[in-house]
Amino acid sequence: MFPPIILNRLRGTNSIILLIGAVTFVIGCLHFLLQSLSLSTGHGSGSSLDVLQRLYSKSDTQCLDYNIDDGQFTTSHVRFNCTGNRENAAFVMLVRNSEVHDARSSIRHVEDRFNKNYGYPWIFLNDLPFSDEFVKYTSSLVSGEAYYGIIDRENWEMPEWIDRKKAKASMQSMEKQNILYGGSESYRHMCRFFSGFFYKHELVSKYDYYWRVEPNTEILCDVPYDPFKYMRENQKKYGFVISLMELYSTIQTLWPTVQNFSTLHPEAIHKNNALGFIVDNEQNITSGGYNLCHFWSNFEIAAVDFWKSEAYENYFTFLDKTGGFYYERWGDAPVHSIAAAILLDKTELHWFDDFGYKHHPFTHCPERSEYHESGRCTCNPKENFDNNQFACKNQYLRVNGDLELPDPIPPAKLRKNSIITY
């Protein structure tokens, strides 16, 4: 019999020997497996380590092949690292320091539903320097790089040609009418910035595509393909999720201004445009009235070079010189939408109907059953804004001949200030 102290040491030694033996066995099995794999993949001359490196190489990873037209994918729960196949694209968020937690929520949704497989960079823009807290809390969530930029002061203030007294009087009048953001000067700065300057910012201008993300938004469906790649391969310039009517009281002179632009710059108007989305009864720009339909631009995936084009630059400059961003409350959504409808080929527009998206108070939820039966989406199709009487889904679908011309929107609806509150 061994003394207890010696017995305990022997037991410990046996445990160590068994552990070493088990590890050796696992390593041997792994080596055998990798050697077999190298032979089966035609890499018989490489070592096991070479094969292991190839298996986890980002540049060699195959991304999920997904057919956007039929909505089917058989590997819905398989995740691929596709960072080696990225487009020249980024996410863009205009956000205040005080919105840090709303920003974090949006980042988490986008990362979980899509970007954790790709690692696209994030660009955060602010008219003031970002706080250390904002940088710390947001950079910890992104799978790619995070960039933080300050907007040039001249792009976030009234230009010199604006009559400030007239602008202030307009804001006070709109505020008395309870028009949303009617009395806000900063909101007007934001609309003008997104209409004519964000794509010129040094952090944004180097990219080919961007995906605009707002604080406090939700992505309600997995995105099992790269929308940036889809845009490039299918020659798309502007993508959206929700379309709806604008408040007439905020843009009363916008359409007449666009009509004047089209008269002075007929060369800018694309012959195969999507005018049918914004003008009813197949009328032309000068004779037709604006039906208020626009793409809700708090979500947009678009080509940066569209905004940089000569046609759009002339369009924005013409609108900007009239002062409508401040004398009224022209939003970047109708400004972008009208431009996309008349300056682009209609085939360059894309509706991301397969995206689930929510930004208060509206939700887009795909209605096709396969999106929900597969587990891809978690939203309620009954809450889909597309079926709302003020949605513009039908106006968009008719552009490509998918629907007959809907009845014109009654003038009373066009001019009612309380149509939609958002």
Question: Token pair of 32, please?
Answer: 């055998």
> Which string of DSSP letters, residue by residue, matches 296-364?
-TTSEEEEHHHHHSHHHHHHHHHHHHTTHHHHS---HHHHHHHHHHHHS-GGGEEE-TT--EEETTEEE
Amino acid type, 282 = E
Could you tell me the CA-to-CA distances from 21 to 26, 49, 273 in Å, in that order? 9, 22, 72
Residue 153's Cβ-side half-sphere holds a number of Cα atoms within 13 Å equal to 1
Stated as kind and residue range, the H or E segment containing 259 is: helix 254-264
Q: Which residues contact 410 (CB under 8 A, 6 or more apart)?
A: none
Backbone phi, psi, residue 241, to 5°: -120, -50
With b for 16 or more beta-carbon neighbours within 10 A and e for fewer, the 261-292 pattern comes to bbeeeeebbeeebbbbbbbbeeeebeebbbbb
Q: Considering the candidates 218, 300, 328, 348, report the single residue annotated as catalytic.
A: 300
User: Are 222 and 376 in contact, with CB atoms under 8 Å apart?
Assistant: yes
Give the length of the chain.
422
Asked if residue 125 lies in contact with residue 92, where contact means CB atoms within 8 angstroms, the answer is: yes
Place of tokens 């929700």: 242
Cα–Cα distance for residue pair 331/242, rounded to 1 Å: 16
- The answer to whether the beta carbons of residues 278 and 293 sit under 8 Å apart is yes
CB 91 within 8 A of CB 116: no
300 an active-site residue?
yes
Closest CA to 151 of 190, 97, 195: 190
Residue positions annotated with a catalytic role: 300
